[in-house]
Amino acid sequence: MMTLLFWIFTQENCLHIFLIKLFQKSKMLKQFSLFVQKLKDVEPIIRIEDVDGARLVQDFADEIERMLGSKMKSVKRLADTAEDADLYHEYNASLQFDYFNALLVNTMDEEGNFIELGGEFPLEENEHFNKLSVNTLMSDILVPTNVYNKDPDILNGVYMSETLNDIFINNFQKDPTLTWQYFGSSAGFFRLYPGIKWTPDANGVVSFDCRNRNWYIQAATSPKDIVIVVDVSGSMKGLKMTIAKHTINTILDTLGENDFVNVIAYTDYVRYVEPCFKGTLVQADLDNREHFKLLVEELHVKGEAKVKKAMKESFRILARANGQGSLCNQAIMLITDGAMEDFQSVFEEFNWPDKKVRVFTYLIGRDMTFSENVKWIACNNKGYYTHISTLADVQENVMEYLHVLSRPMVINHDHDIIWTEAYMDSVLFKSKAHSLLLMTSVAMPVFSKKKETLSHGILLGVVGTDVPLLEVMKLAPRYKLGAHGYAFLITNNGYILAHPDLRPLYSDGKKLKPKPNYNSVDLSEAEWEDTKDSLRTAMVKGETGTLNLDVRAAVDKGKRPVFLKNDYFYTTINETPFSFGMVLTRGHGQYVFFGNVSVEEGLHDLQQPDLTIADEWTYCETDIDPHHRKLTQLQAVVRYLTGKEPDLECDEILLQEVLFDAVVTAPLEAYWTAVDEGMESAFLGTRSGLMRVIRYAGSEKRVGKKFLTPVDKENLFTVDHFPIWYRLAAENKPGQFFFYVPHDDINKGDVNCYLVDNNGFIMVSKEKGDVGKFFGEIDGSVMAQLLKSGLFKRVTLYDYQAMCKNAHHHASGARPLLIKMYPHFETYRLLLEFNICGLWHNDYVVDGKLRSYGTHRQKKVELMQPCNTEYPGFMYDTSIRETNSIIKCGRCQKMFVLQQVPNSNLVMLVVQADCDCLLNSFEHNATVKCNSMKSQKIRRRPESCHAYHPHENAKDCGGACGIAVSLTLYFICLATSLALR
C-alpha cells in the first residue's frame, strides 16, 4: 500500500473560499492518477501473496530463539570459565594485586602520576555501546563505596576472575550483537566488559552493588514466598526504627515477579501494613514492592512486643498460600530488637520437624541482651541470624539470606539460566546515562566446585549479559506486518516485555520518569478488548495458536478511535520464560505485493535527494562489523547494492520492495518540482518504509516546522509503528483525501467557521490556539447537539497505563491505598462539559478523591499514581452530508450549519458567534480498589525449584546457639546441635 498526503496552506478571508481553493488544488493532485498509471505499467511484474500468519509467527519466534540462545551460550561459557578458575585458585590472605578500578582509571595525582588502581586505561567512543567511551580489549572492576577495594576477598576474587577477559572478547567476536557482559561477585565487586570509566554520584559515592540487581538475585535463588515481620513496639523508636525500615526496603529490593510477599507489624497485637492484603501473599512485582515501601515509611512505634502472635500469623499466611505463592522456598524475616517470649511452641506447632519454612532474624540496635534468643530462632529453623547496629550494616546483612537460600542449588550444581522481567536502566546502570532502554538480562550462577566446601554451598557470584528488547523486536520486521500490525513479547507472569502500546515513562514537569508499575503492566492492560483473557491465558501457558478479535484501537496519542479486525498469532520462545505474539489486521495485514525491478533502475531512483528510508528498520545489518556502525540504513543499502560492501547482511525481500517503491514513485519528483502553488510540503510513504518529501518553503517561513523531522517520531516509520498519518489515511475510503490542515488566520466576522475532522478535532479556526483541540472543548453546546442528533457518535476507550494526579493527606495510621483509579465519566454530563482539559493526553491527569484511613490529617500532597481510565473518542457519521440546528441559550439562540466536505475526512461547521453558551466544569470522583494488586491471574511458574538438599550445612546460621529464655530452649538447642553433627 502507498499513501499520499499533503500539507496545504491558503491565505483567504472566508472559509467557503478556502474550501473552493482547497478542492481546486485537490483536482490538481495528479499524483493519484500518476500512481494508478504507473502501477498499470508495471502490473505484469506484480504478484500478490496472502500472509500466512501462523508460519510467520513461528519464523519470527525461531529467529528470536536463535538470538536469545546465542546469549545463553555466551553466559554459559563465562560460568564454566569462572568455576574452573576458582577450582584451581588457592586463596591467599596476603595477596598483593593491582587491577583496573573503574572509578579510578585514568586518574592522576597532582604530580601527573596515575593513582593506585587507576592506571592508564585506553577508552574509545563506540557506536555499538551508545557512543560511550569503552575499552573493548579489557574489562575493569567496580567496587561499591561501602566495600574496601583491597580487601583480601576482593583481591582474590578479582585475581581469580581475570581469566574472564579472554572469554568476554571471544564471546563478542562470536556474537557482535552482544552488549554488556559481566561477573557479579558474592564478595561485592563487579567485573564489566567492555571496560569503562565509572562516574560516581554527586556525593562521590558508588552506590551500585551488583548483588542488588535483579539478574543476580534471580540467578542466585529459586522463587520464594516471604513474610516480613517487623517489631514496632516502643523500644524500637528512633534510629532502630529507621534501620528496621531500611532493612525491610532492602529485603523488598531482593524480590522479583516470581516471588510473593507480605509485610506485617506487631506489638501486643498483629496488623498488616496493607489491610487489603490481609492473610494472603501478593506477587512481588515492582508495583507492589513500591506500594509496600510507601506504607512502611508510615510505621510508628507503640506498645509492648509480643512476637509469638506475629510468628503464628506468618506461618498461617504461608500455609494458606497453597497455589497462590511460588510453591518453592518459604521464609519468614523477623526484624526486632529482642525476643522475650517462650516461642518454642510456635515452631513445634507450625515448622518442626520438617522445617519447611526458614526463619531469618535481624537484631536491630547496639543492645545485645536478647541476641541469643534471636540467634536461636534462626539456627533452629534453617535460617540465618545477623546483627544490624547501623544503617551501613543493612546491605551486607540482608544479602546473607540469599546465600542461605542458594545452598541447595549450589550443592546440587543446578545451573539454571534465568531471564529477568523488563527493566528500565540507563546505559552503564546510571553511571553516565546517555539514553534509557528497556532491557532484559540473562544470567547464570557460578558455584564453588571445591569438595571441601561442598556442604556449605558457596555461591561465587553470577555472570550475565544484557539484551536490549528493541534489538529483539527488530527480528519481527514492521514491513511484514502492515499498517496496523505489530509484535509483542510477554513473560511467564503475563507481564509485557515489549509492546508498541507500552508506555513506561510519564512526564513530571519537564522530566520523563519511569512509572511505578512500568514493568508489571499486564498484557490484558494493553490488549483490553480481550475481555475473557483468552489471548493472555494461552500465551502464559506457553501454547501456540491464533485468535480473532474486533478491536477499538486508539491512535494519535489515544485521541482517535479506529475499528479493526485483528488476527492474533502466538507461540512460545523455547528455553525462555517468554511468549511471542503477532497481530495482522484484516485488509492491510492480509496481503503483500511484490514487484520485480532491476537493481540499476531502483538504485537510480533510490538515490534521489527527496527520498529516505526508515532508519530504525533493518534493511542491512550494520551492527555486526564495527566499520558499518556509522552507516545510515540508506547508505548501507546503496553500498551493498553497488557492490562496495558485499559482506553486509541485508534483507533481500525488503530491498526488493523498497527498490520497486522507489521506481513506482519516481515520477512524483518531477511533478512536485513543477507544482508548488500555495503548498509548503508534499510527502509520500510506502509499506517498505520509503518516504519522499519536498519542501516548497524555507525553514524560516514554514508553519509545520517539526513535521516529518526526526524529533517528531509519530510522523516517521519506527520499529514500533507506521506513522500516524499513514495509519489514519489507510483507514480512509479509497479515493478519499485525508487532510492535515494547520492553523490559519481567517474568519474575522460575526460567525465562527471551523474545519473539523471526522474525530471532532479542529483543523482550521480563526483562533490559532483552537487548532488541534477537540471541538467540544471550544463549543460544548454545539458538540452536545451534534451528539444528540447522531451526527457524531461516542466511542468508549480505555487506558490502563494512565497516571493520575491524586490529592491526599498523610495519615497517622495506614495510608490510603493508591492503586488503580477509575474516573467515572457520566455520559450526559460529559457531553455537555467538553472544556475539561487533558482527556486525550498520553497520561491523563484527573483530580481523584481518595478515602483516607487514620485519626488525624496533616499537609496535603499531590502524587502521580498509576490508574485506569475510561474516556471517550468520537466518530462522524459519514452518511450525513449536511444539517443545521438552533440551540437555545437562555434568552438568546445559537445557530449552526454543518456540511460534509466531499471526498475528505473533514466537515465544515459555521457557528453563530454572538451567543455564548459556556458551561461550568466539574470534578470526577475516583474510587479506590485493592483487588487489582492482589489479584492472582494465571501465571506459569518457573520450572525449577531448589528449596532443599539433605547435605546442607544448616549449622552455618550466623552464630552458634546460646543460652535462651529458658532451660527448655537451651536443651532443645543443644540436642539440635548434636543431631546436626
Q: What is the 3-state secondary structure (H, E, C) of 744-788?
A: CCCCCCCEEEEEEECCCEEEECCCHHHCCCEHHHHCHHHHHHHHH
Distance CA 427, CA 425 (A): 6
C-alpha cell at 17: 473560499
Distance CA 517, CA 508 (A): 15
pLDDT for res 890: 67
pLDDT for res 872: 87
Residue 474: count of CB within 10 angstroms of its CB: 19
Span 207-261, pLDDT tens digits: 889 998 899 999 998 999 999 999 999 999 999 999 999 999 999 999 988 999 9
Span 597-618, pLDDT tens digits: 899 999 999 999 889 999 999 9
pLDDT band at 859 (very low <50, low <70, confident <90, very high): very low
pLDDT band at 814 (very low <50, low <70, confident <90, very high): very low
Mean pLDDT of 403-423: 89
Q: What is the mean pLDDT of the chain?
A: 82
C-alpha cell at 827: 455520559
Q: What is the CATH number of domain 469-592?
A: 3.30.450
pLDDT for res 625: 87
pLDDT(821) > 90: no
Span 8-50, pLDDT tens digits: 333 333 344 444 445 445 545 566 676 677 777 877 888 888 9
pLDDT(513) > 80: yes
Most confident of 194-198, 201-205, 623-627, 859-863: 194-198
Span 57-105, pLDDT tens digits: 999 999 999 999 999 999 999 999 999 999 999 999 999 989 999 999 9
pLDDT for res 22: 52
pLDDT(432) > 60: no
489 sits in which H/E element: strand 486-490
Distance CA 214, CA 715 (A): 36
Q: Topology of 225-395 in CATH?
A: Rossmann fold (3.40.50)
pLDDT for res 856: 38
Give CA 507 to chain center in angstroms.
15
Helices 633-641 & 599-606 angle (0-180, nearest 10): 150
Backbone angles phi, psi at 940, to 5 degrees: -110, 115
Q: Which residue has the higher pLDDT, 876 or 4?
A: 876
AA letter at 587: G
Span 276-330, pLDDT tens digits: 899 999 999 888 898 899 999 999 999 898 899 999 999 999 998 766 778 899 9
Helices 652-665 & 599-606 angle (0-180, nearest 10): 70
Q: Find out whether 741 and 763 touch, Cβ atoms under 8 Å.
A: yes
Q: Which residue has the cell 499513501?
A: 3
Distance CA 706, CA 699 (A): 10
- What is residue 370's DSSP assignment? T
Mean pLDDT of 190-212: 90
Region of 448 please: left (phi>0), alpha (psi -120 to 50) or beta. beta
pLDDT for res 750: 52
Whole-prediction pTM value?
0.83
Q: Which segments of the chain belong to CATH 3.30.450?
A: 469-592
AA letter at 140: D
pLDDT for res 376: 93
Question: Could you give the C-alpha distances from 534 to 483, 498, 529, 717, in angstroms and in order?
Answer: 25, 19, 10, 31
Q: Is 527 helix (H, G, I), strand (E, B) or coil?
A: coil
Buried b vs exposed e over 947-965: b needs ≥16 C-beta within 10 Å? bebeebebeebbbebeebb
pLDDT(557) > 90: no
Would strands 486-490 and 882-889 be described as parallel, antiparallel, or unpaired? unpaired
Mean pLDDT of 152-173: 97
pLDDT(457) > 90: no
pLDDT band at 930 (very low <50, low <70, confident <90, very high): low
pLDDT(130) > 70: yes
Question: Could you give the C-alpha distances from 399 to 24, 188, 296, 338, 949, in angstroms and in order?
Answer: 74, 10, 20, 21, 21
pLDDT for res 541: 95
pLDDT(428) > 60: no
Q: Which segments of the chain belong to CATH 3.40.50.410?
A: 225-395
pLDDT(636) > 80: yes
pLDDT for res 11: 31
